[in-house]
Amino acid sequence: LGDRVADLVGWPLLRLLGRLPAGCGAWTVRIAGGLVIAGLILPIVVVMIISFSSAIYLTFPPPGFSLRWYERFFSDSNWRSAFSNSLTVAMMSAVIAVSLGAAAAMGIVRGRFPGKSAVMLVLVSPVIVPPVVLGLSLYTLFLRLDLVGSMWGLAAAHAIGGIPIVVVIVAAALQSVDRRLEQAAAVHGASPLTVFRTVTLPAIAPGLAAATFFAFLHSFDELVLSLFLSSANLKTLPLMLWADVNYQLNPVLAVVSTLEVLFILVGVALAGPVLARSRAA
């Protein structure tokens, strides 16, 4: 049956496609890529437009334009406190994730021991485990350690999800480093610490920078773990967004979303020249 379908439909269709001009394939790829990009960008653009709405609820197109919701966000101490908490927790989480994840990646790539694949699987397992299961487990553990509702507890929980990102990125960066450079430095009398500081670290600096940035973003947008481990005195930006989505759908949500997108774009713009200089060095 498959052969008959191929003879009746498949081969004639391939012959027909083969007669098309060569430029059709390129235009097909461009159109498909444009549709994908539009599908990703258009919702963000719509949210940005809604953030300037004069309406008291989320609606598109907006009946008018106003900055009242930006003024409300910056004048509300709860939103400012949530943004500050998210920023602090994300930075702490990124430091923890990069410190542990980079060391683990170094041991996996440079070490020689049995069961490396199993260790790698364990390190990336937080990506596989459902966030609800991870959040409930961490809540039970952190409750005994009196870490629920604390900055360090929330940062440590977020770092668990950031470590797999760091391990994968730093491991890929380490595999691209020429081992002969490290061996040459060691042969000329450099200690292992000096070899790492002067040869390995500059070579993997772009990977470390990318890993730090993505670990920071992962923590900054984390919701599920924050639902389990935050408290009334420690609320992050995703938690405030979640609460407002459930209880009041006003354009402040669009303002926060727009500011988050701009925050990420500024981070990417600032990181670009640094990564370019690191690669050139």
Q: Tell me the pLDDT tens digit for each residue of 160-204.
A: 888 898 888 888 888 887 777 777 877 777 777 887 778 777 888
Check pLDDT > 80 for residue 232.
no
Please tell me whether residues 25 and 119 are part of one structural domain.
Answer: no
269, 275, 276, 279: CA torsion to nearest 10 = -170
> Looking at the domain assignment, is residue 55 inside a domain?
no
Where helices occur in the chain by DSSP H, the ranges are 2-5, 11-18, 22-50, 68-75, 77-110, 116-128, 131-144, 151-175, 179-187, 192-195, 201-220, 224-229, 237-247, 252-280
What range does the domain containing 179 cover? 76-280
Please tell me whether residues 11 and 89 are part of one structural domain.
Answer: no
- Average pLDDT on 54-76 reads 80
Please tell me whether residues 28 and 142 are part of one structural domain.
Answer: no
Would you state the structure tokens that stand for residue 255, as one six-digit string?
């303002």
pLDDT score, position 63: 81
Pick from 216, 205, 226: nearest CA to 263: 216
Domain count for the chain: 2
Please tell me whether residues 92 and 193 are part of one structural domain.
Answer: yes
Check pLDDT > 70 for residue 276.
no
Q: Tell me the pLDDT tens digit for each residue of 89-112.
A: 889 999 999 999 888 888 888 777
